[in-house]
């Protein structure tokens, strides 16, 4: 049996990143986890003292001090995972952002999904499934707010369909035999669930040939509420087509029930609807990660 080489505990390790896919894989070589909607975090435990780094290597221990203080291990260990806030039975990035802004930490949880180093052993060369087994052994010694990210075997699309029904962000599928690499890899696949809806266009920002962004609203009863803007998803040709359509319904005053200040806006009658994909709605009631899919004229979609 080969003797294990001892290694010194490294500093921040650039994280492994998943490749976006349209469909999840299946088969015995893959495991699947829920994709958390939070902040990627790397936790370094050094004989009871812990530091937490963001995915870009910034030390945010002070912002996540409650989680850092919960790693009561006397080992030298590096964990990879996600810091989240659970709201309405799912992880919610907007609620996490709001808590960070308020300095609130009582709702924050850390889901550990990988382990990179433990007690003089660099684990990055080990197979994914072996790392998960070692990870579970350690996390089982700890209590909330530190949790183990469970994985599922079998058909990834079935888990993705279930995650979509529950309005989760999506899933991450991982090759059981793959090592950990500090880059975007094909050994991790992410499949995202998105929401899609039609919103009345209430205004736009001009660019030389078309539109730079669309301001969107939403009818709630008799009120037209502001929902934010979308600024991606069209070609230069489509941008010009959108501009030509909206120029026919320009109005001097915005039609929102509660006006918003947008000095660069050209306001329009809400006669056209933008078909928009988006990830979530923020705590301020605005669309997050929105992308334009089409423009139509007509009544509000039921």
Tell me the DSSP string of 227-271. Answer: EEEE--S--HHHHHHHHHHHGGGB-SS---SS----TTEEEB-TT
Per residue of the chain (302 residues), what is the pLDDT tens digit? 455 668 899 999 999 999 999 899 999 999 999 999 899 999 999 998 999 999 999 999 999 999 999 999 999 999 999 999 998 888 988 788 889 989 999 999 999 999 999 999 999 999 999 999 999 999 999 999 999 999 999 899 999 999 888 878 899 999 999 999 999 999 999 998 888 899 999 999 999 999 999 999 999 999 999 999 999 989 899 999 999 999 999 999 999 999 999 999 999 999 999 999 887 788 889 998 898 988 998 754 43
The CATH number of the structural domain formed by 17-192 is 3.30.470.30
What is the DSSP code (8-state) at residue 1?
-
The confidence score (pLDDT) of residue 5 equals 67
Tell me the DSSP string of 140-165. Answer: TT--TTEEE---EES-HHHHHHHHHH
Helix, strand, coil percentages, rounded to 5, for the chain: 15, 40, 40
Instruction: Report the predicted TM-score, pTM, of the whole model to 2 decimal places.
Output: 0.73
Q: Is 104 exposed, middle or buried (0-12, 13-18, 19+ CB in 10 A)?
A: middle
Query: Collapsing DSSP states into helix, strand and coil, what is residue 133?
Result: helix
Token code pair at residue 246 = 């909206």
The confidence score (pLDDT) of residue 144 equals 97
CA distance 113 to 246: 47
CA distance 63 to 200: 39
Q: Are strands 195-206 and 211-220 parallel, antiparallel or unpaired?
A: antiparallel
Residue range(s) in the chain whose domain bears CATH number 2.40.50.140: 195-297
CA distance 29 to 153: 9
The confidence score (pLDDT) of residue 4 equals 61
CA distance 11 to 235: 43
Q: Are strands 121-122 and 280-281 parallel, antiparallel or unpaired?
A: unpaired
Please say whether the structural domain 195-297 has been given the CATH code 3.40.50.1820.
no
Residue range(s) in the chain whose domain bears CATH number 3.30.470.30: 17-192
């Amino acid at each position: 049996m080969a003797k294990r080489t001892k290694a010194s505990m490294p500093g921040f390790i650039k994280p492994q990143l998943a490749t976006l896919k349209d469909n999840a894989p299946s088969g015995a070589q893959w495991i699947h986890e829920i994709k958390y909607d939070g902040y990627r975090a790397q936790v370094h435990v050094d004989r009871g003292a812990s530091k937490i780094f963001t995915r870009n290597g910034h030390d945010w221990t002070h912002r996540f001090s409650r989680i850092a203080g919960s790693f009561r291990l006397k080992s030298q260990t590096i964990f990879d995972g996600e810091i989240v806030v659970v709201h309405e039975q799912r992880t919610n990035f907007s609620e996490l952002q709001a808590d960070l802004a308020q300095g609130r930490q009582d709702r924050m949880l850390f889901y550990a999904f990988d382990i990179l180093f433990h007690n003089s052993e660099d684990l990055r060369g080990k197979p994914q499934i072996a790392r998960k087994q070692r990870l579970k052994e350690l996390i089982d010694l700890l209590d909330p707010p530190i949790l183990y990210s469970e994985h599922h075997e079998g058909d990834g699309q079935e888990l993705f369909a279930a995650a979509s029904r529950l309005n989760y962000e999506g899933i991450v599928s991982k090759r059981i035999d793959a090592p950990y690499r500090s880059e975007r890899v094909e050994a991790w696949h992410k499949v995202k669930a998105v929401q899609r809806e039609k919103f009345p266009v209430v205004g736009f920002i001009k660019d030389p040939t078309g539109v730079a962004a669309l301001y969107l609203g939403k009818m709630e009863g008799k009120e037209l509420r502001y929902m934010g803007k979308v600024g991606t998803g069209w070609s230069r040709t489509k941008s010009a087509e959108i501009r030509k359509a909206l120029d026919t319904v320009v109005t001097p005053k915005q039609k929102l029930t509660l006006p918003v200040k947008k000095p660069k806006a050209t306001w329009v009658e809400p006669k056209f609807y933008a078909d928009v994909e988006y990830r979530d709605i923020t705590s301020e009631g605005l669309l997050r990660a929105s992308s334009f899919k089409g423009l139509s004229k007509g009544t509000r979609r039921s």
